[in-house]
Chain A
Amino acid sequence: MTVVAVVLVFGFFTYNAQVNMENRGIDFGYGFLSQESSFDVQFSLIEYDGSHSYFRAYLVGLLNTILVSVIGIFLATILGVLVGIARLSPNYLINKFAAFYVEFFRNIPLLLQIFFWYFAALRALPLPQDAEAMFGISFLTIKGLFVPAFIWENFNIFFYSIVAAIVAIIVIRAHAKKVQETQGKQTPVLLISIGLIFILPLLSFLIGGVRLSFEVPVLKQLATTSFIYEGGVSLPPELIALALSLSLYTATFIAECVRAGIQGVGKGQKEAAASIGLTQNQVLKLVVMPQALRIIIPPTTNQYLNLTKNSSLAAAIAYPDLVLVFAGTALMQTGKAIEIVSITMFTYLSLSISISLFMNWYNNKIAITEK
């Protein structure tokens, strides 16, 4: 019965789609992806202009989505963890301040917040020619944030040195654990790790011939009243508004996850750990955090996913993300609604599903195995 119903519904839709496309003279197919796109995108991470293909435009949008999501996740995590811990503080003022933050930002629609930052708050910033330098090198203006660019020499050596440091830390940690389990001796892993991660890159500067210089943005006059900064890296105001509102909004949810996680560890656990002679730090590191993380990580990953999906609201303020570039401009130009919307949805879907599969695997790995 169900099979027949499903098949019938799909058949009905497919038939209609075919008829409609015939009527409008559109043919179905993904061949348009390699055609010349002939539209421009104002902000892109990879080289792109109108002469590139639609597929390249898709990549530009995807990369922009990933960029704003990564920035948002980074900021939201820091802020969320801080606020989550603050909500557990015994200090009345800090506690209430954090609670106020969470209740305030959580109950206002994200879109409204994005509009607020983009159309109201960031419009109050100074014009490029009036902007004062922050730390003497970067400029926050109405046309975006201009920061110095890093110019590397022998970047690969620097990169390898960091990789080497990380590998060394992993090896040392494994060794320290083994030593502790067999001989009961403790090694100051943290100090060694911090030392390694600083000293190896430093060595690469001293010996390996790595050079780092900055290209500071310089004010340039375009017309009599129009100024812009040149050189360095420029972040458009859309990106700033979007990253800011996404992280402020998501941080409230992450804060609640963190709070729930830490509260979820039983008081008895802490007391038991203290009674076998662990120090305060050891209790936190060895007993509370591993258990709290087990509660915190799954919902937090969910919030990361939500943030990534919410970044599609970028279309409302014309930040060229996947939805705006591909499902907006490209769709208008080609008129291939079914193909483009399906590709866009499939992209988000595969992103979500791959992350949730990873999370399932991780959950199973850390789950308490009860006898």
Chain B
Amino acid sequence: MSKINFLKPDKSNLYTFLYLGSFLFFVSVLDVLLNSFFSLNLTGFLPGFLSFLLPLILGFIGLYFIRIELSGIKQLDLLNKHINTNNFNAVLSLLIIFIILKSIPPILSWFVIDASFAGDSKDVCTGTGACWTYIKVWMRRFMYGMYPNGEQWRINLSFIALASLGSVGYFATDRFKKYLTLYYVVIYPFIAFLFIFFFISGGPVFFDFSYGIIAAILSIIIGFFIPSKFKFYYFLIVPFALYVLLKYFIFYEELIELGKLDGLNWVETGAWGGLSLTFIISFFCLIFCFPIGMAFALGRRSGFPLIRYISIGFIEFWRGVPLITVLFMSAVMFPMFLPADFFIDKLVRCIIAISLFEAAYVAEVIRGGLQALPRGQYEAAKSLGMGYWRMHIFVILPQALKLVIPGIANTFLALVKDTPLIFVVGLLEIVGMLNLAKTNPEWLGFAMEGYVFAAIIFWIICYAMSKYSYNLEQKYKTDR
């Protein structure tokens, strides 16, 4: 065995250093581990300051000893390469390991071990941990807001129906693939609107809705027997005619008055809330802001100065002001500009405001994509004799939108994260409901649980969205 130089570990005494270093490193980690999980202090006999720093010093020396380049042991080389490249990195790695070890026990005990899950009143929450009973009791309010308990199946049913309608794209055969864009851009939002307006909102108009559905289903069934020559005219006329027929020949208003029919109760938008409202607002704003944004993006690159300046003004205006002032405007200033007897619902005003606001951001993102396309694409399309709209729809936009998927996903994420701001106009989605529940005299002092709960929900939604956009980006990536 050659002479050992402890200041300069090298390969000749590999195993001496390896055992010594691993032992020191192991001791330091063990010390912190015992300290945090079992509150034992191995080094308690030393003076306070030294006892505090000792694991760090020991670990540092240990890591220094095992930092031997090209040792020939695969695991050791990997370890050195990843967490132990030099002194500075070694200290940082140790610190992070210690922080993680130190923070696991308190977090675990707060979340699970000392937390209370059972019961349905505040009395069970006596431990030091979280009170998940609070969330359990308030769950309906956090999900549905002030929506009446007995009517909540309407929201569930609509959401399930819309989700299944939305997943049509996955099952569509190649024959129907070309209609998907039309379906998602025009038909699906329209159906969603019908659901929200007639079904969740309810009231006597519900019958209009059900007649509409019946008419649509009937006409589709009959449509299979119509020769394809007349199909276009058939679908243009018959559904509407059926609807009118049902509406005016089955006199539902009289039936309601006679008590033979029981319509859905009307639930005003002020009572909507919770997570379902977050979904409703995000959904409609997503749908509206995209085409508006696209229009302004094209407008900003338009050849007509007037359209260009209007687009620039619009975009820069909305991008320059905070969303909260926009909502303020929609709440207090906008009604002043409308005729006195003209009233727009609070929720609708909110959706308009957020859509316009986010549209400006979408416009800038899409403009980035339009500018990134080489000029040759425009020229090639024009040389084929395409007009402005044909060129944009078939050549430019498909390429540009593909380029800006990440940017659009970011804007949509920002939109979802902005929805809690509607508290300004008095609508309470999940964060608003939390604040309301927090001030309930029977349930004081559980703010933390509520916010953690909402944070987890939002985190899952946003993380899923960002991962989905990443997948889309990979799917539509074309090498150019």
Contact = CB atoms under 8 A, between A and B. Distances in A.
Interface of A: 2-3, 6, 13-14, 16-17, 19-21, 23, 89-94, 97, 103-104, 106-113, 115-116, 119-121, 123, 309-310, 312-313, 315-316, 323, 327, 331, 337-338, 341-342, 344-345, 348-349, 351-353
A115 B322 contact: no
B349 interface: no
B460 to A, nearest CB: 9
A112 B431 contact: yes
Contacts of B339: 16, 19
A90 B458 contact: no
B235 interface: no
Nearest to B324: A312
A315 B458 contact: no
16 contacts: A3-B306, A23-B340, A89-B89, A91-B92, A94-B89, A107-B413, A107-B459, A111-B420, A111-B421, A116-B455, A120-B451, A309-B322, A315-B324, A323-B324, A341-B329, A349-B320
Interface stretch (B150-158, B211-219, B330-338, B392-400): B330-338
Contacts of B7: none
Interface in B443-470: 447-448, 451-452, 454-455, 458-459, 462-463, 466
Contacts, number: 148
A24 to B, nearest CB: 9
Contact of B325 (A91, A113, A312, A351): A312
Nearest to B431: A112
Q: Is chain A's binding surface mostly helix, strand, loop or mixed?
A: helix
Given A112-B431, A341-B328, A345-B321, A92 B336 contact: no
A348 B336 contact: no
A344 B325 CA distance: 8
Nearest to A311: B322
Contacts of A106: 462
A16 B334 CA distance: 10
Contacts of A316: 423
Contacts of A342: 333
Nearest to A344: B325
A90 B85 CA distance: 8
Contact of B85 (A91, A108, A112, A312): A91
Contacts of A97: 96
A311 to B, nearest CB: 8
A93 to B, nearest CB: 5
A109 B431 contact: yes
B337 A323 contact: no
Contacts of A91: 82-83, 85, 89, 92-93
Nearest to B420: A111
Contact of A310 (B322, B337, B416): B322
A337 B329 CA distance: 8
A331 B423 CA distance: 17
B193 interface: no
Contacts of B431: 109, 111-112, 115
B461 to A, nearest CB: 8
A183 B32 CA distance: 58
B338 A94 contact: no
A354 B104 CA distance: 47
B97 A93 contact: yes
Contacts of B420: 109, 111-112
Nearest to B304: A2
Given A112-B420, A115-B431, A341-B333, A323 B447 contact: no
B316 interface: yes
Contact of A94 (B96, B324, B418, B419): B96
Contact of B320 (A123, A327, A352): A352
A349 B360 CA distance: 14
B179 interface: no
A106 B307 CA distance: 36
B435 interface: yes
Interface in B295-316: 304, 306-307, 310, 316
Contacts of B97: 93
A349 B320 CA distance: 5
B320 A2 contact: no
Given A112-B458, A310-B322, A338-B333, A2 B340 contact: no
Which of A93, A103, A119, A121 has the most chain B CB within a 10 Å cutoff? Answer: A93
A94 B88 CA distance: 11
A93 B325 contact: no
Contacts of A90: 81-82, 85, 89
Contacts of A110: 417
Given A115-B435, A353-B320, A107 B83 contact: no
A337 B451 contact: no
A17 B82 contact: no
Nearest to A20: B336
B336 A338 contact: yes
B63 to A, nearest CB: 12
Given A107-B462, A341-B333, 8 more contacts: A90-B81, A90-B85, A109-B416, A109-B420, A115-B451, A312-B324, A338-B333, A353-B316
B310 A323 contact: no
B421 A107 contact: no
A2 B459 contact: no
Contacts of A353: 316, 320
A119 B329 contact: no
A112 B97 CA distance: 29
Contacts of A21: 336
Interface string B426-444: 0000010011001000000
B325 A19 contact: no
A16 B438 CA distance: 41
Which of B96, B323, B328, B421 has the most chain A CB within a 10 Å cutoff? Answer: B328
Interface in B59-101: 81-83, 85, 89, 92-93, 96-97
Contacts of B323: 309
B307 A2 contact: yes
A112 B82 contact: no
Given A107-B462, A349-B320, A123 B447 contact: yes
A108 B455 CA distance: 6
B322 A17 contact: no
A112 B447 CA distance: 11
A323 B417 CA distance: 20
Given A104-B459, A111-B420, A312-B325, A6 B451 contact: no
A312 B320 contact: no
A338 B320 CA distance: 18
Given A3-B306, A94-B92, A341-B328, A312 B322 contact: yes
B451 A119 contact: yes
B82 A92 contact: yes
A249 to B, nearest CB: 10
Nearest to A310: B322
A120 B81 CA distance: 41
Contacts of B337: 13-14, 16-17, 20
B138 to A, nearest CB: 16
Contacts of A345: 321, 325, 329
A364 to B, nearest CB: 16
Given A19-B340, A93-B92, A112 B451 contact: yes
Given A23-B340, A92-B83, A120-B447, A108 B462 contact: yes
